């Protein structure tokens, strides 16, 4: 009975959503202005993306937009990531199209509803933390693979081809062969419009990065089509008149035999939402130094998908591109996500008639541009200069993602990461790996009389903390390493990270360290790395970690001597 009580207690231990942080921090007019501009910027990005993803998946554009509204509201109010933006994702384009073909619209909505229930269970049982067992090369390989799949899916529209493919197969090679067979039917006007859209976005991003380039290019494309009477399909010619009314919530028709039959698909949807959302949250953490709550993220995504199923929308997930845009636009809090949902809703209610004039090829060009921007130069550089086996994981994950889907890519990336770790362990002696509370820390207090640092009992308020890491630090240890650093706060003047007993650091831990140390520097805490071996220095050098570190020292004593000069 005690065991069951502890499980129930764990399940019910839900922390506060990130929006409650504002009650402790306070919220000023300046904060609201920052959130307002970030919300407006993300809404401008979300409008064409939400419509484009929905259309590419075989749904109506409004299904994508309404889903983005729901995702924005729920993530902002109940989410566990301060800057996460939820909405339709490119990763679902092919799998939704295939599901619609096999089970119809009601079957798809049932799958989305069951997906939401699975996500809530994942959150309640704290399974979100297992995302850290997926190594960084695999996570970025999946993101890269999604970008490639999006680009391939838009080739048909960019070329203006009008043929019926043989079903909704996820066989990418087959799709490419079909496109090649129909190349003589290319619509030159469509191709020129598509290339012009992509070129215009690239140029505007370079010369006017602060402008809302996507919405400007969409407007220009619509005006060109209208005034020159170009023979191009628009949202209106494809889907008819766009209604400015909101959908009335109504649960899909319950069919228990169909629910049971499609349960594996629901799990696949849940795995994709799980990975996309938490990978996006980790990327946001790396940019801001914040820490997301994976439990709340899963619960909020689950609730959002259940609501989406009741309004006939599109499955939702945390989105890396829009979340990054939110951060880069100066978002201060979850209020920016709530505002972007409000802006989306106002756009639907006030400008529905304008949506009909958007050329479909312009949306395809936007999706290609967004896919390309998912491939960040910083992460690509890390992997190209990383040890050979990390590069192999990256490339293999991309290939599996493109040809066999995201679920298989997650499995393959994790397995390859495990094999690489086992290979590295062959040349190493075994070592312990303790990560419990403050047991990994020593603390020091400056003695003015003797001009030296004296060892004291470590507390969370100690001004100088030394974190002692030891053993083999690889991707599976990421969560525990992250927990160790959670004890560092603004009361510390400096933190010394002692690597003297660390034999190996892989790229996932090095990437985590970059995020952690970046967060420390942002809080005004000095960061010192001491006792690092040549292997450790080489690995963390690949992450361009130097800007986040004040100095490297050979041992803790040298680090304390440095602090004696800088702090006293």
Render each residue's pLDDT in the chain as its tens digit; 568 residues.
445 555 555 544 557 888 888 877 888 889 999 899 888 888 877 888 888 888 888 888 888 988 999 988 998 999 989 999 999 987 787 788 888 888 999 999 999 999 999 999 988 887 766 666 677 788 778 778 878 887 887 888 888 887 655 444 446 777 788 888 888 888 899 999 999 999 998 898 888 877 778 778 888 998 998 888 888 888 888 777 777 677 777 888 888 999 999 998 898 888 888 888 888 888 788 778 788 888 899 999 999 999 999 988 889 999 887 888 788 778 889 999 999 999 988 887 887 777 788 888 888 888 888 778 777 666 666 666 666 777 788 888 888 888 877 667 777 877 887 777 666 554 443 334 444 556 778 888 887 878 888 888 887 777 888 888 887 777 767 777 777 787 787 778 888 889 888 877 878 788 888 888 888 887 888 888 898 887 777 777 776 666 667 788 888 888 888 888 877 6
Q: Which two tokens stand for residue 278?
A: 């938490």
> Please, where are the H alpha helices in 159-232?
172-181, 188-207, 213-228
Whole-model pTM?
0.69
Please give the structure tokens belonging to residue 308: 């989406």
For 321-440, strand residue ranges (E) read none
* Per-residue confidence (pLDDT) for residue 166, from 0 to 100: 46
Non-local CB neighbours of 500 within 8 Å, separated by 6+ positions: 468, 530, 531, 555, 556
- The torsion region of residue 59 among left (phi > 0), alpha (psi -120 to 50) and beta comes to beta
pLDDT at 2 (0 to 100):
46
C-alpha span between 551 and 319 (Å, rounded): 36
Other CB atoms within a 10 A radius of the CB of residue 20 amount to 12
Instruction: Report the C-alpha gap between 320 and 35 in whole angstroms.
Output: 18
299 exposed, middle or buried (CB, 10 Å; 0-12, 13-18, 19+)?
buried
3-state helix, strand, coil in the chain (%, to 5): 65, 10, 25
Q: Which residue's entry shows tokens 């039959």?
A: 261
Q: What is the β-pairing status of strands 317-318 and 494-505?
A: unpaired
Task: Residue 266: name the closest of 319, 306, 312, 313 by CA.
Answer: 306
Pick from 545, 509, 382: nearest CA to 433: 509
Candidates 81, 135, 134; CA nearest to 299 is 81
Contacts for 178-187: CB closer than 8 Å, 24+ residues apart: 179/155, 183/159, 185/161, 186/159, 186/160, 186/161, 187/159, 187/160, 187/161, 187/231
Per the listing, tokens 């040809």 go with 403
Determine contact, residues 568/539, Cβ cutoff 8 Å.
Answer: no
- State how far the Cα of 16 lies from the Cα of 38, in Å rounded to an integer: 23
**Contact status, residue 414 vs residue 134, Cβ threshold 8 Å:** yes
Which of 565, 142, 109, 81 shows the shortest CA–CA distance to 337?
81
**Cβ within 8 Å of residue 108, ≥6 positions away:** 96, 99, 100
Distance CA 474, CA 507 (A): 8
Asked if 101 and 168 touch (Cβ cutoff 8 Å), the reply is: yes
Rounded Cα gap, residues 500 and 534, in angstroms: 11
Phi/psi of residue 471, nearest 5 degrees: 95, -155
With beta carbons less than 8 A apart as the criterion, state whether 492 and 464 touch. yes
Cβ neighbours of residue 313 closer than 8 Å, sequence gap 6 or more? 63, 64, 66, 67, 70, 112, 247
pLDDT value of position 386: 66
What letter does residue 81 receive in the DSSP assignment? S
Between CA 112 and CA 116 the distance in angstroms is: 6
Which pLDDT value is given to residue 7? 52
**Encoded tokens for 134:** 């997926």
Number of separate helices (H) and strands (E) present in the chain: 24, 8
Rounded-to-integer distance, Cα 266 and Cα 138, Å: 23
| Tokens describing residue 157 | 């529209």
Please state, in angstroms and rounded to a whole number, the distance separating the CA atoms of residues 179 and 163: 9
Compute the CA torsion angle 443, 449, 452, 456 (nearest 10 deg). Answer: -20
Q: Is 249 exposed, middle or buried (0-12, 13-18, 19+ CB in 10 A)?
A: exposed
């Amino acid at each position: 009975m005690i065991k069951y009580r502890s499980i129930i207690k764990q399940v019910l231990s839900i922390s506060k959503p990130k929006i409650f942080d504002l009650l402790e921090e306070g919220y000023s007019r300046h904060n609201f202005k920052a959130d307002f501009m970030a919300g407006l910027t993300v809404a401008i990005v979300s409008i064409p993306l939400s419509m484009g993803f929905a259309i590419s998946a075989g749904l109506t554009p409004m299904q994508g937009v309404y889903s983005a509204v729901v995702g924005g509201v729920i993530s902002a109010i109940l989410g566990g990531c301060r800057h996460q933006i939820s909405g339709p994702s490119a990763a679902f384009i092919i799998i939704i199209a295939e599901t619609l073909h096999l089970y119809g619209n009601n079957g798809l909505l049932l799958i989305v509803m069951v997906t939401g229930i699975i996500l809530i269970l994942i959150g309640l049982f704290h399974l979100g933390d297992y995302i850290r067992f997926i190594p960084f090369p695999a996570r970025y390989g999946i993101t890269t693979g999604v970008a490639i799949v999006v680009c391939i899916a838009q080739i048909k529209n960019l070329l203006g081809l009008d043929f019926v493919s043989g079903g909704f197969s996820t066989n990418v090679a087959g799709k490419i062969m079909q496109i090649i067979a129909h190349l003589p039917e290319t619509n030159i006007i469509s191709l020129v419009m598509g290339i012009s859209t992509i070129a215009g976005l690239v140029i505007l991003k370079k010369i006017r990065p602060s402008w809302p380039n996507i919405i400007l290019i969409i407007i220009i494309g619509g005006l060109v089509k209208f005034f020159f009477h170009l023979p191009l399909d628009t949202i209106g010619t494809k889907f008819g008149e766009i209604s400015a009314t909101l959908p009335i919530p109504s649960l899909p028709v319950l069919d228990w035999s169909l629910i049971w039959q499609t349960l594996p698909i629901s799990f696949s949807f849940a795995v994709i939402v799980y990975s996309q959302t938490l990978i996006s949250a980790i990327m946001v953490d790396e940019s801001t130094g914040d820490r997301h709550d994976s439990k709340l993220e899963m619960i909020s995504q689950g609730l959002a998908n259940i609501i989406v199923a009741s309004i006939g929308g599109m499955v939702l997930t945390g989105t890396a591109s829009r979340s990054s845009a939110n951060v880069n636009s100066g978002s201060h809090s979850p209020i920016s996500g709530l505002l972007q949902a409000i802006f989306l809703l106002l756009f639907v209610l006030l400008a529905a008639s304008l949506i009909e004039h958007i050329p479909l090829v312009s949306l395809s060009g936007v999706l290609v541009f967004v896919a390309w921007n998912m491939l960040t130069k910083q992460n690509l550089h890390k992997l190209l200069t990383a040890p050979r086996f990390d590069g192999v994981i990256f490339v293999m994950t991309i290939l599996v993602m493109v040809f066999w889907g995201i679920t298989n890519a997650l499995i393959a990336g994790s397995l390859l990461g495990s094999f690489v770790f086992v290979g590295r362990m062959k040349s190493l002696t075994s070592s312990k790996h303790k990560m419990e509370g403050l047991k990994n820390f020593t603390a020091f207090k400056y003695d003015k009389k003797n001009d030296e640092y004296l060892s004291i009992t470590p507390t969370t308020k100690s001004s100088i903390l030394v974190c002692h890491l030891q053993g083999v630090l690889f991707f599976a240890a990421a969560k525990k390493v992250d927990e160790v650093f959670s004890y560092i706060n603004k009361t510390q003047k400096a933190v010394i990270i002692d690597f003297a007993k660390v034999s190996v650091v892989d790229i996932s831990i090095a990437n985590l360290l970059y995020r952690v140390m970046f967060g420390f520097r942002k809080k005004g805490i000095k960061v010192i790395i001491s006792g690092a071996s040549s292997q450790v220095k080489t690995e963390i050098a690949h992450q361009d970690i130097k800007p986040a570190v004040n100095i490297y020292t050979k041992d803790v004593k040298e680090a304390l001597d440095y602090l004696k000069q800088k702090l006293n």
